[in-house]
Protein backbone atom coordinates (compact mmCIF):
# COMPACT_ATOMS: atom_id res chain seq x y z
CA UNK A 1 0.00 0.00 0.00
CA UNK A 2 1.20 3.47 -0.78
CA UNK A 3 1.53 5.44 2.45
CA UNK A 4 2.71 9.00 2.97
CA UNK A 5 3.95 9.96 6.41
CA UNK A 6 5.62 13.22 7.36
CA UNK A 7 8.72 12.06 9.22
CA UNK A 8 10.77 14.70 11.03
CA UNK A 9 9.26 17.42 8.85
CA UNK A 10 9.73 15.65 5.50
CA UNK A 11 6.96 13.89 3.57
CA UNK A 12 7.98 10.30 2.87
CA UNK A 13 5.96 8.05 0.55
CA UNK A 14 6.45 4.33 1.07
CA UNK A 15 5.06 1.24 -0.62
CA UNK A 16 4.43 -1.06 2.34
CA UNK A 17 2.89 -4.37 3.21
CA UNK A 18 -0.15 -3.39 5.31
CA UNK A 19 1.25 -5.46 8.20
CA UNK A 20 4.42 -3.34 8.48
CA UNK A 21 4.73 -1.63 11.83
CA UNK A 22 5.65 2.02 12.06
CA UNK A 23 8.85 0.94 13.80
CA UNK A 24 9.87 -1.33 10.92
CA UNK A 25 8.95 1.35 8.37
CA UNK A 26 11.17 3.85 10.19
CA UNK A 27 14.10 1.50 10.72
CA UNK A 28 14.06 -0.75 7.66
CA UNK A 29 12.50 1.42 4.97
CA UNK A 30 13.70 4.89 5.98
CA UNK A 31 16.98 3.99 7.70
CA UNK A 32 16.10 5.84 10.90
CA UNK A 33 17.70 3.54 13.46
CA UNK A 34 17.25 5.76 16.53
CA UNK A 35 13.97 4.16 17.56
CA UNK A 36 14.88 0.77 18.96
CA UNK A 37 13.18 -2.60 18.75
CA UNK A 38 13.33 -3.82 22.32
CA UNK A 39 10.47 -6.16 23.09
CA UNK A 40 8.30 -5.74 19.96
CA UNK A 41 5.26 -6.06 22.25
CA UNK A 42 4.76 -2.49 23.52
CA UNK A 43 6.15 -3.26 26.96
CA UNK A 44 9.56 -1.57 27.05
CA UNK A 45 9.11 1.84 25.36
CA UNK A 46 12.39 1.69 23.42
CA UNK A 47 10.47 2.36 20.20
CA UNK A 48 8.57 5.43 21.47
CA UNK A 49 8.07 8.18 18.88
CA UNK A 50 5.75 11.17 18.68
CA UNK A 51 2.76 10.69 16.37
CA UNK A 52 1.06 14.04 15.77
CA UNK A 53 2.73 15.19 18.99
CA UNK A 54 1.49 12.27 21.09
CA UNK A 55 3.82 9.52 22.25
CA UNK A 56 3.17 6.06 20.87
CA UNK A 57 4.92 2.71 20.78
CA UNK A 58 5.94 2.43 17.13
CA UNK A 59 6.10 -1.36 17.41
CA UNK A 60 2.33 -1.45 18.03
CA UNK A 61 1.34 1.03 15.32
CA UNK A 62 0.78 -0.02 11.73
CA UNK A 63 2.52 2.31 9.32
CA UNK A 64 -0.41 2.38 6.89
CA UNK A 65 -2.62 3.64 9.73
CA UNK A 66 -0.29 6.65 9.98
CA UNK A 67 -0.95 7.77 6.39
CA UNK A 68 -1.07 11.58 6.41
CA UNK A 69 0.25 11.81 9.97
CA UNK A 70 3.33 13.53 11.39
CA UNK A 71 5.96 11.39 13.10
CA UNK A 72 8.86 12.74 15.10
CA UNK A 73 11.70 10.38 15.94
CA UNK A 74 14.80 11.05 18.00
CA UNK A 75 16.54 12.07 14.76
CA UNK A 76 14.02 14.92 14.44
CA UNK A 77 14.55 16.18 17.98
CA UNK A 78 18.23 17.03 17.97
CA UNK A 79 21.47 16.37 16.15
CA UNK A 80 25.08 16.03 17.29
CA UNK A 81 26.35 19.56 17.78
CA UNK A 82 22.78 20.85 18.06
CA UNK A 83 21.18 18.83 20.85
CA UNK A 84 17.68 19.51 22.13
CA UNK A 85 17.76 20.91 25.71
CA UNK A 86 16.29 17.64 27.03
CA UNK A 87 19.08 15.70 25.34
CA UNK A 88 21.58 18.07 26.97
CA UNK A 89 19.93 17.43 30.35
CA UNK A 90 20.29 13.67 29.80
CA UNK A 91 24.01 14.16 29.14
CA UNK A 92 24.47 16.53 32.08
CA UNK A 93 22.68 14.18 34.51
CA UNK A 94 24.38 11.08 33.06
CA UNK A 95 20.89 9.68 32.41
CA UNK A 96 22.10 6.85 30.24
CA UNK A 97 24.51 3.99 30.44
CA UNK A 98 24.18 1.69 27.45
CA UNK A 99 21.92 4.23 25.70
CA UNK A 100 19.59 1.68 24.11
CA UNK A 101 16.45 3.07 25.77
CA UNK A 102 17.49 6.72 25.56
CA UNK A 103 15.76 7.67 22.27
CA UNK A 104 12.47 6.23 23.55
CA UNK A 105 12.96 7.85 26.96
CA UNK A 106 13.50 11.27 25.38
CA UNK A 107 10.56 11.01 22.98
CA UNK A 108 8.37 9.75 25.79
CA UNK A 109 9.45 12.53 28.14
CA UNK A 110 8.66 15.22 25.55
CA UNK A 111 5.22 13.68 24.94
CA UNK A 112 4.63 13.28 28.67
CA UNK A 113 5.41 16.93 29.34
CA UNK A 114 2.88 17.95 26.68
CA UNK A 115 0.28 15.72 28.37
CA UNK A 116 0.93 17.53 31.66
CA UNK A 117 0.66 20.94 29.96
CA UNK A 118 -2.64 19.84 28.41
CA UNK A 119 -3.95 18.82 31.83
CA UNK A 120 -4.20 15.08 31.18
CA UNK A 121 -4.33 13.40 34.59
CA UNK A 122 -2.35 10.32 35.53
CA UNK A 123 -2.97 7.61 38.09
CA UNK A 124 -1.25 9.73 40.76
CA UNK A 125 -2.80 13.12 39.91
CA UNK A 126 -4.46 14.34 43.13
CA UNK A 127 -6.70 17.20 42.01
CA UNK A 128 -8.33 16.76 38.62
CA UNK A 129 -9.55 20.35 38.60
CA UNK A 130 -6.21 22.03 39.25
CA UNK A 131 -3.06 22.45 37.18
CA UNK A 132 -0.92 19.35 37.48
CA UNK A 133 2.28 19.87 39.45
CA UNK A 134 5.17 18.04 37.86
CA UNK A 135 6.24 16.09 40.91
CA UNK A 136 8.69 13.20 40.95
CA UNK A 137 5.71 10.87 41.48
CA UNK A 138 3.97 12.27 38.38
CA UNK A 139 7.09 11.83 36.26
CA UNK A 140 7.70 8.30 37.52
CA UNK A 141 4.10 7.25 36.87
CA UNK A 142 3.96 8.83 33.43
CA UNK A 143 7.34 7.39 32.38
CA UNK A 144 6.59 3.91 33.73
CA UNK A 145 6.11 2.55 30.20
CA UNK A 146 9.77 3.16 29.41
CA UNK A 147 12.15 0.59 30.83
CA UNK A 148 15.85 1.17 31.41
CA UNK A 149 17.64 -2.12 31.89
CA UNK A 150 20.68 -0.29 33.27
CA UNK A 151 18.50 1.25 36.02
CA UNK A 152 19.41 4.87 35.33
CA UNK A 153 15.99 5.93 36.63
CA UNK A 154 17.22 8.48 39.21
CA UNK A 155 19.30 10.23 36.53
CA UNK A 156 16.44 10.09 33.99
CA UNK A 157 14.13 11.65 36.58
CA UNK A 158 16.71 14.36 37.33
CA UNK A 159 17.18 15.12 33.62
CA UNK A 160 13.45 15.48 33.06
CA UNK A 161 13.11 17.68 36.15
CA UNK A 162 16.04 19.85 34.99
CA UNK A 163 14.59 20.28 31.52
CA UNK A 164 11.05 20.89 32.77
CA UNK A 165 12.32 23.51 35.22
CA UNK A 166 14.28 25.29 32.50
CA UNK A 167 11.39 25.07 30.03
CA UNK A 168 8.86 26.53 32.48
Q: Is the pLDDT of residue 2 over 90?
A: yes
Its CATH class, for the domain covering 85-167, is: mainly alpha
- For residue 39, is pLDDT > 60? yes
Across the range 29-50, mean pLDDT stands at 97
Q: Which residues contact 43 (CB under 8 A, 6 or more apart)?
A: 147
Which of 65, 45, 68 is CA-nearest to residue 57?
A: 45
Residue 106 burial (10 A CB sphere; 0-12, 13-18, 19+) = buried
pLDDT digit string (tens) for 93-105? 999 999 999 999 9
Give helix 153-167 / helix 85-92 axis angle, nearest 10°. 140
- Domain ranges in the chain are 2-76, 85-167
| Mean pLDDT in residue range 98-115 | 97
Q: pTM for this one?
A: 0.95
Question: Which phi and psi (to 5°) does residue 54 adopt?
Answer: -110, 135
Write the CATH number of the domain with boundaries 2-76. 3.10.20.30
Question: What is the Cα–Cα distance from 116 to 118, expressed in whole angstroms?
Answer: 5
The yes-or-no answer to whether 2-76 and 85-167 have a common fold is no
* CA neighbor of 35 nearest in space, from 69, 82, 71: 71
Paired with 151 in beta bridges are: none
CA distances from 30 to 74, 137, 165 (A): 14, 37, 35
Burial classification of residue 51, based on how many CB atoms lie within 10 Å of its CB (0-12 exposed, 13-18 middle, 19 or more buried)? buried
Amino acid sequence: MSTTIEVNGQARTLDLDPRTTLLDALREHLGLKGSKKGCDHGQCGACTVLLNGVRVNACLSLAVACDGDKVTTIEGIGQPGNLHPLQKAFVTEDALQCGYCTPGQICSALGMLEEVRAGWPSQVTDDLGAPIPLSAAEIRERMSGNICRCSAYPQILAAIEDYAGDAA
